[in-house]
Amino acid sequence: MESLSQSVNTGRLIIVAYRLPFKVVRDGDVSRLFQNSGGLVSAVLSLVKDQQNQAFDAHQKIQWIGFSENSPDELEGQSMENENFRAHPVFIPDELNENYYEGFCNNLIWPLCHYFPSLARFHDAYFQAYQEAHELFFEKVKEVIRPGDVVWVQDYQLMLLPQMIRQAFPENKIGFFFHIPFPSFEIFRLLPVTWRKAIVNGILGADVVGFHTNDYVEYFLKAARLVSELGNKLHYINLGNRIVKVDSFPISIDFEKFNDAYDEPDVAAARSDARQSLKEKIIFSVDRLDYSKGIIHRLHGYQRFLEQNSDWHEKVSFVMVVVPSRDTIEQYQQMKSDIDQTVGKINADFGTMSWQPIIYQYRSMPYHEMVGMYTASDVALITPVRDGMNLVCKEYVASRKDGRGVLILSEMAGAAAELGEALIINPLDRQDIADAIKTAFEMPEEEQYKRMEAMRERIRDYDVFAWTTDFFTQMTMLELEHDRLRQV
Ligand code: GDG
């Protein structure tokens, strides 16, 4: 067998994701590139530092194809390159984007994958737009790709793309990563037959297909078997002329960055401000406004806790940050107003002149304030009703250099598979949430420390660098093992 070192690839890495890693902001005649700080950007940046990587040439700039939030006019004469990335914008007309992104992606795939089938909208125009938008991304891939390049396609907005690339460029290596839950077959089968076949076959254009957990892998393999009548054994799908590897790669975070943040002066100042201005026990949560995040259920759990534990009245502050998202959509506006009302009711029913049980902010928080809150809080209350992974809980754990704090985590977040030392709750069960808050408040420091250290070790070992390395090692290994796998 060829040795690993002989197979070092000199091609570039091309990321294809719905969004570009930065956007251009014009201020009069001056324009600047603002790098987005999302999880995927930091994950990909970790590859820039990874000199051991053998799947592609890490010395060459990463090429990134994505939808441009700027119009072609705004980008006229603008350099689309920073020190890490060369961006290749895809322009999608508003009307098409409406049916593609808002429609097919966010009104159909997102609710289905998060087990909200009643919110899913099925329109032929959505699927047609999904295919048309893929053509636009594919045109850009054709302009950029060269022999030897490795293409890494991201997420549910681009499920048809791996197969389109495979057919035109059979020699290039292709990876695909799915960031949200892949649902059980009983949900996936709700999709029209041609759509679900197109999705499975689209994804199977990749050499390596990644999900966050073993459950999602299993559900996808079942969908592949039933929808496309494909045989699969363990994690391999044999397509006759090639093999696809389907595996779990739980996305992670830059552990050291959050760990080190504990001692940064602005984080320490935010922590001490929070401790001074809030009550003796602090609960914290932060998420985007979304029905998958379980915000209303969380509030009901806290309400039940207050009803049953009057001895804790006046002694607890729940800081709940909700980051505005998709709030032009009616469903999201309705959800926002339900949250506003529920918070108002809890504060009205329990609050006093000297105590506000919930401090609620509908805005995003600067990074140092967020980490200040992570490190000040006694409890992180993370209760999504479904979440592909959930990075907030990993960030909370990584930032607890002091070993204190209790994580209350939903069993329906992908992260629960890795963070068994958290207090794991059913996010739909308000009594379970109320009991966990009480347990957390009464937990001796020694036990907090033991649980926190075990979780910290795990995230330290499998951080975002390990995640990307793991994915690209599988890409390299798959090629090397190709002959053996053909016999699977
Ligand atoms: C999708 C999947 C999967 C949030 N509020 C603020 C803020 N954030 C940052 C957090 C964290 C990120 O945003 C949120 O990440 P999540 O993983 O929790 O959630 P999604 O955005 O839904 O992401 C999810 C993820 O993809 C990766 O595969 O884990 O399941 O749904 O990094 O820190 N950052 C700042 N202020 C805020 O107010 N500075």
Starting at the earlier edge strand, list the strands of the sheet with 13-19.
85-90, 62-67, 13-19, 150-154, 173-177, 208-211, 243-248, 236-238, 232-233
Cα of first residue to Cα of last residue in the chain, in angstroms, is 17
Nearest alpha-carbon partner for 463 in 172, 182, 146, 45: 45
Count the neighbouring beta carbons within 10 Å of the beta carbon of residue 28.
5
Residue-wise DSSP of 333-391: HHHHHHHHHHHHHHHHHH-BTTB-SEEEEES---HHHHHHHHHH-SEEEE--SSBSS-H
> Rounded to whole angstroms, what are the CA distances from 477 to 4, 334, 485?
8, 49, 11
Distance CA 218, CA 181 (A): 11
The DSSP output letter for 237 is E
For 364-379, how does the pLDDT look when each residue is reduced to its tens digit (9 = 90+)? 999 999 999 999 999 9
Ligand 1 within 6 A of CB of 323? yes
Kindly state if the Cβ of 388 falls inside 6 Å of ligand 1.
Answer: yes
| Cα(396) to centroid(ligand 1), Å | 12
| Ligand 1 binding pocket includes 367 (Cβ within 6 Å) | yes
- The residue whose CA is least distant from atom 26 of ligand 1 is 179
Q: Which residue CA neighbors atom 4 of ligand 1 most closely?
A: 287
d(CA 243, CA 204): 9
The pLDDT value given to residue 53: 67
The closest-lying atom of ligand 1 relative to the alpha carbon of residue 290 is 22
Specify the pLDDT at position 437: 98
User: What is the DSSP secondary-structure string of 302-327?
Assistant: HHHHHHH-GGGTTSEEEEEEEE--ST
Query: What is the pLDDT, as a whole number, of residue 488?
Result: 54
Per-residue pLDDT of the chain (488 residues; tens, 9 = 90+): 344 444 556 799 999 999 998 888 877 777 788 777 677 887 888 777 665 666 788 778 899 999 998 888 888 888 888 888 899 999 999 999 999 999 999 999 999 999 999 999 999 999 999 999 999 999 999 999 999 999 999 999 999 999 999 999 999 999 999 999 999 999 999 999 999 999 999 999 999 999 999 999 999 999 998 877 777 777 888 888 889 999 999 999 999 999 999 999 999 999 999 999 999 999 999 999 999 999 999 999 999 999 999 999 999 999 999 999 887 788 889 999 999 999 999 999 999 999 999 999 999 999 999 999 999 999 999 999 999 999 999 999 999 999 999 999 999 999 999 999 999 999 999 999 999 999 999 999 999 999 999 999 999 999 998 999 999 999 888 877 766 665 55
Say if residues 398 and 383 touch (Cβ distance below 8 Å): no
CB 117 within 8 A of CB 109: no
What Cα–Cα distance (Å) separates residue 373 from each residue in 2, 67, 265, 369, 392? 51, 33, 14, 6, 12
User: Could you give the CA distance from residue 280 to residue 360 in angstroms, rounded to a whole number?
Assistant: 18
**How do residues 282-299 score in pLDDT, each as one tens digit?**
999 999 999 999 999 999
Ligand 1 mutation pick, 154, 285, 392, max ligand atoms within 8 A of CB: 392
Q: Distance of CA 433 to CAs 14, 226, 289, 409, 442, Å? A: 43, 38, 20, 9, 14
For residue 390, report the distance from its CA to the centre of ligand 1, in Å: 7
pLDDT recorded at residue 445: 97
Per-residue CA distances from 297 to 113, 425, 431, 434 (Å) = 19, 12, 11, 11
89 sits in which H/E element: strand 85-90
pTM of the model: 0.94
- Cα angle: 32, vertex 38, 44; to 5 degrees: 90
Q: Cβ–Cβ contacts within 10 Å for residue 337, how many?
A: 10
